[in-house]
Amino acid sequence: MTASEVLSELAPAAALSPDLPAWDRELSGKLLMAPMAGVSDAAYRLMARSGGAALAYSEMVSCAGLHYGEKSWELVDPDPAEPEIAVQLFGSKPELFRESAERVAARLGDRLALLDINMACPVPKVTRKGEGSALLEDPGLAAGIVRACREGAPGVPVTVKIRRGRYMGQEVAPEFARAMEAAGAAAVAVHGRFATQMYHGEADWGAVARVVDAVDIPVIASGDVLSHDAARRALSETGAAAVMVARGTYGNPWVFSGHVPTPVEKIAAFECHVRLLEATGAHLKRARSLAGWYFKGMPDAARWRNAAMSCVTAEEFLAVAAEVRAALGS
């Protein structure tokens, strides 16, 4: 089956929609699916859009990878079932950003909603190359990267994702966001942690609010948006135009709509997700993580998670789902 056929056949049983409306370029009040390394492939994006996400992002894509090889393009190309996607790029060389922006825009055409520049990733293997959150220390270079992307893809909105700052206690987000706005960024997403915090501690939504006060472009709130209620609170408390949801999507494509799924709907969603992995050509081992997320909170969840860890084929994963459904019925 194609991904569209999978959604048509399986999404309704999971209280998800097989119809994916086109992105209207309006951020106000929208809930977006964040870029997540190793997670946000085409199947994951389709589940999020089916659950109500207004837009879904690719995994972060290396500009150097796009320049030197073909494999990175697998992260860029949308599935035919996707109306459009946002593509997040990372790197540190403006000339490679310009080239990548031009090539991505030419390849995706109208299906490219926007280009996002990662200036938030805290992982040392990224920052030691001057990429990700390391750019927070060099606003001049970061502004040059924004301008390069705009030059490479005229007419495509260019946005940036940042953190409060790189080091604890050194908040640079408001001033940095002003520099990105001056360089032509169409919006800025703010994760309310310092890079050195990684994902520990609590995100400070006050940092998002301070960026909202500092710039005139739309601001997207990020960090600790783990439920639909949290997303709505983030909009209200920060004044942000939109919210980006990352870990809150794990096993929960309904986070965007606020629907509270039944256990049976969660099983149906897992089955749909597995079939989408198959339809989009993704590695089926990804379903091992999905099983842990979708089965969380169910009776004997550890048992089902362990059973999924030995699965290889789609049919094996679906057999575990059938066992979970039978156990619930008993």
Q: Give the domain CATH number at 248.
A: 3.20.20.70
Helical pair 139-152 and 94-108, crossing angle rounded to 10 deg: 30
Domain assignment present for residue 153? The answer is yes
* Whether residue 22 is found in the same domain as residue 107: yes
Domain assignment present for residue 5? The answer is no
User: Which pLDDT score, from 0 to 100, does residue 122 have?
Assistant: 94
Contact 291, 297 (CB under 8 A): no
* Whether residue 251 is found in the same domain as residue 272: no
Q: Which residue has the tokens 């509270």?
A: 260
Measured between alpha carbons, how far is residue 79 from residues 106, 147, 212, 232 in Å? 16, 29, 34, 30
User: Which pLDDT score, from 0 to 100, does residue 200 have?
Assistant: 87
SS3 267: helix
Q: Please tell me which residue in 121, 149, 272, 311 is annotated as part of the active site.
A: 121
* Whether residue 276 is found in the same domain as residue 150: no
User: Which pLDDT score, from 0 to 100, does residue 268 have?
Assistant: 98
Q: Which of 132, 193, 121 is nearest to 164 (CA)?
A: 193
Q: Which of 33, 89, 69 is nearest to 243 (CA)?
A: 33
Q: Which of 187, 193, 186 is nearest to 170 (CA)?
A: 193
Give me 61's structure tokens.
């894509």
* Whether residue 294 is found in the same domain as residue 185: no
* Whether residue 278 is found in the same domain as residue 249: no
* Whether residue 277 is found in the same domain as residue 129: no
* Whether residue 108 is found in the same domain as residue 79: yes
* Whether residue 180 is found in the same domain as residue 317: no
Q: Which of 113, 125, 110, 109 is nearest to 37 (CA)?
A: 125
| Catalytic residue check, 121 | yes
User: Which pLDDT score, from 0 to 100, does residue 330 have?
Assistant: 56
Domain limit, last residue, from 226, 256, 286: 256
Count of domains observed in the chain: 2
Domain assignment present for residue 9? The answer is no
* Whether residue 251 is found in the same domain as residue 303: no
Q: What is the pLDDT of residues 247-272, one digit of tens each?
A: 999 999 999 999 999 999 999 999 99
Domain assignment present for residue 297? The answer is yes
Domain extent at residue 125: 17-256
* Whether residue 97 is found in the same domain as residue 131: yes
Q: Which helix (H) or strand (E) holds 57?
A: strand 55-62
- pLDDT beneath 70: ranges in the chain: 330
Domain assignment present for residue 286? The answer is yes
Positive or negative: CA dihedral 248, 252, 256, 257? negative
User: Which pLDDT score, from 0 to 100, does residue 71 have?
Assistant: 85
Domain assignment present for residue 93? The answer is yes
User: Which pLDDT score, from 0 to 100, does residue 287 have?
Assistant: 96
Domain limit, last residue, from 223, 256, 289: 256
* Whether residue 226 is found in the same domain as residue 283: no
* Whether residue 137 is found in the same domain as residue 242: yes
Domain limit, last residue, from 256, 281, 316: 256
Q: How many CB atoms lie within 10 A of CB 111?
A: 16
